[in-house]
Structure 1
Amino acid sequence: MPITFSGWEVCSENFKQLQPGQAPKKSHGYTMYHGTHKSNAQAIITSGFKPSAGGTLGAGVYCSRDINKAMGYPGYCAPNDRVVLKLQVRVGKVKKIDNQCMHLQTTWHQHGYDTAWLPATVVGLEEDCVWDPKRLTVVGIAHCGDAGMKNSLESLIKQQGNGQGQEASGPVGKLCKTCGMQTQDTHTVTKCWVCKAAICAFMNKHVCSKK
C-alpha cells in the first residue's frame, strides 16, 4: 500500500550557501569563480576553458569558491584588465589535498579524482582544480572594471543559454521549475493528494493548504 502524506519540511545543505572553508561533497554543484585577462573572457564563454598544463595542483582548470582568490588572477596584469567569471561547477569525485595527501598534489586525477581541493588552512585562500573543463559553466560576470565590456560579456552568456536566472545547459544540469534544484534528470512532478498542488519529491518544504 503506498504511503500518502500532505506536507513536509527538510533541512538541507544548499550548494550555493556552502562556505569556502567547508569541504565540497562528491557529485555536487558549486558556485565558483575564475579570474582571467579581459582578452580571454569572450573565448572562454563561447568555446569553454582550456586546462592549464600545470600549476600548484597540476593540470586542469583552476577556480575557487572564494572570490577573493579569483580577484588576484592573472597575477601579471593590471587590476582593471582582470575579469572574474562566475561559474557553476560539477565537481565529481573530490580529493582534499592537505598535509597527509601532498604526495597526490599533482597526480590526483591518475587516482580517479575529478577535482582537487586545496583548503584555505593550507594556502590561505582555497583553491580548486577541475580536470575536465566540461564540468564548468560560465553563468555570470562577478567582476569587470569596464562597464561596457561587462554588459557585452553578460549578453554573450545569455546567448549561450547559461545566464543567471535561466536554465543552465551543459554538465551542471537544468533547473527543476517545481523544487528549484539543479538536476541532470527530469524530476517527476505530481499533485498533493489533499490540496492537489504541484509537488516534487525534492522540494524542501510543502505546506498543504487544506490540512
Structure 2
Amino acid sequence: MPIKFSGWEACAEKTKHLQPGQAPKRSHGYTMYHGTHKNTAPTIISSGFRPSAGGTLGPGVYCSRDINKAMSYPGLCGPNERVVLQLRVRVGKVKKIDPQSLHLMTTWQQQGYDTAWLPSSMGRMEEDCVWDPKRLAVVGIAHCTDSGLKTSLENLIKQQGTGAALGQSGPAGSKCAGCGMHIADKHALEKCWSCKKDICAFMHKHACVKS
C-alpha cells in the first residue's frame, strides 16, 4: 500500500544574514535592523510596529540588513538617542526594485508583494520595506549606548515570550491549544483531513502518515 502524507512544514531561516546584493528568498526569514528613538523602542517591542505613511518605497515598515543604515535613523537626533532593534523578518513575496520596476517603487503592495527590496547602489545602502508589521519580530538590541536602557529593553523582549518571537503584535496573552503561541485573539482550530487531529493554521509543523 502506498504511504499518503498530509501536513506542512514552515520554512524560516531564523538567524540568516543576507550578504550584500543577495536577493531574499520568498517566504524565508532573515535578520534585519531598524533604527528608532530610544523613547519609541519600548512601544515597538511591546505593541508592534506602526507602518509609515510613506517614504522611498511607499507605506510600510522600513528596515535594512545593513546595521550601518539602521544606525543613521532617526535622522534628527544624536547617536546617543538612537536604538537599533535586531529583527527577524518573514519577507513573504519580495519585489526587487531595479531600473525595470521603478514604476512599482511605491505601489508594489497593490501588486500582491509583501516586501520591497531596494539594493545598494552608488553609495546608497540597501533597504527593505515590509507591508504587514506582523511579519517583523524584535529579537534583540543591536545598538544602544545606554547600558541600563539596553538591559531594560532586552528584558522587555523576553517578557513578550512566544508572541513577540513569532511576530505577534501586542503583549503575550493566552496560549493557543494548537500552535502554542501566546495570543490576544483565539485561533480557530480545524480537524486534519487525514488524522483528524485538532490543528491550527499557525503551527510551524504538522504531519501525519496513513497507509
TM-score (structure 1 length as normaliser): 0.73
CA contact (8 A) 2:13 2:30 kept: no
Of residues 185, 193, 207 in structure 1, which corresponds to 2:204? 185
1:168 offset after TM fit, Å? 2.5
- The match for 1:128 is 128
Q: CA RMSD in A?
A: 2.9
Q: How does 1:15-164 map to 2 (within 5 A)?
A: 16-121=16-121, 124-161=124-161
CA distance in 2, matches of 1:101, 1:119: 13
Q: What do residues 84-129 of structure 1 show as CA deviations (whole Å, max 9, x unaligned)?
A: 0000011111000011111111000011111000001366211000
Name the amino acid aligned to 2:165. Answer: A
1:161 offset after TM fit, Å? 1.2
2:152 alignment partner, SS class: helix
1:18 offset after TM fit, Å? 2.6
1:168 matched to 2:144? The reply is no
CA distance in 2, matches of 1:27, 1:144: 30
Name the amino acid aligned to 1:93. Answer: K
CA contact (8 A) 2:97 2:118 kept: yes
1:27 offset after TM fit, Å? 0.7
CA contact (8 A) 1:50 1:61 kept: yes
Name the amino acid aligned to 1:47. Answer: S
CA contact (8 A) 1:138 1:162 kept: no
Name the amino acid aligned to 1:107. Answer: T
- The match for 1:178 is none
Question: Are the structure 2 counterparts of residues 14 and 49 from structure 1 closer, same or farther at C-alpha, using a change threshold of 3 Å?
Answer: closer
Any stretches of 5+ residues in structure 2 without a counterpart? 4-11, 169-178, 181-201
1:62 offset after TM fit, Å? 0.2
CA contact (8 A) 1:34 1:62 kept: yes
CA distance in 2, matches of 1:162, 1:69: 28
2:98 alignment partner, SS class: coil
What count of residue pairs does the alignment treat as equivalent?
172
CA distance in 2, matches of 1:138, 1:36: 12
TM-score (structure 2 length as normaliser): 0.73
CA distance in 2, matches of 1:188, 1:147: 45
